């Protein structure tokens, strides 16, 4: 049996803040959007510009969802980035808290507006550790 990865689905509470995080912050692109009037929900599919086959499906229920205070039981979504320092700085500049800074030049964790953990991994070799990341504390 041949299988192909299709997507990961996340429930979101606010389309605008989620797209700001995933598109403006992480650089994903909206691939398509489907609105289901009768069932009152919207599906938004995103992908990394260089990996259009792997998608992230954001599900927005028009009448709301009880997403809870802590989504850590989901685990996390991981993305490889060209420059972890530039990515974290860009996210900080749009108001995202860096929960686990890239002190080692290789790995960081941030959270989406719906408290979903996103792991960022440096492409290739680790970058040389540098400030302000080196001395930055975790924000759990």
Q: For residues 81 and 121, is the Cβ–Cβ distance under 8 A?
A: yes
Cβ of 41: how many Cβ atoms within 10 Å?
16
Query: DSSP string of 103-131?
Result: TTSSEEEEE-TT--EEEEEESSSPPPP-T
């499906």: which residue's tokens? 57
CA-based nearest residue to 27, from 105, 97, 80: 80
Q: How far apart are CA 126 and CA 124, in angstroms?
A: 7
**Positions marked active-site:** 119
């Amino acid at each position: 049996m041949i299988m192909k990865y299709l997507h990961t689905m996340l429930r979101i509470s606010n389309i605008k803040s989620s797209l700001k995080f995933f598109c403006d912050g992480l650089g994903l692109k909206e691939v398509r959007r489907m609105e289901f009037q009768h069932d009152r929900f919207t599906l938004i599919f995103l992908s990394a510009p260089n990996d259009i086959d792997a998608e992230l499906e954001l599900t927005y229920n028009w009448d709301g969802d009880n997403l809870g205070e802590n989504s850590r039981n989901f685990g996390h979504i991981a993305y490889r980035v060209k420059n972890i320092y530039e990515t974290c700085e860009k996210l900080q500049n749009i108001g995202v808290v860096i929960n686990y800074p890239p002190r080692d030049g290789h790995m960081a964790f941030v959270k989406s507006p719906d408290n979903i953990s996103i792991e960022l991994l440096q492409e290739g070799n680790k970058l040389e550790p540098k400030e302000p990341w080196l001395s930055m504390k975790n924000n759990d």
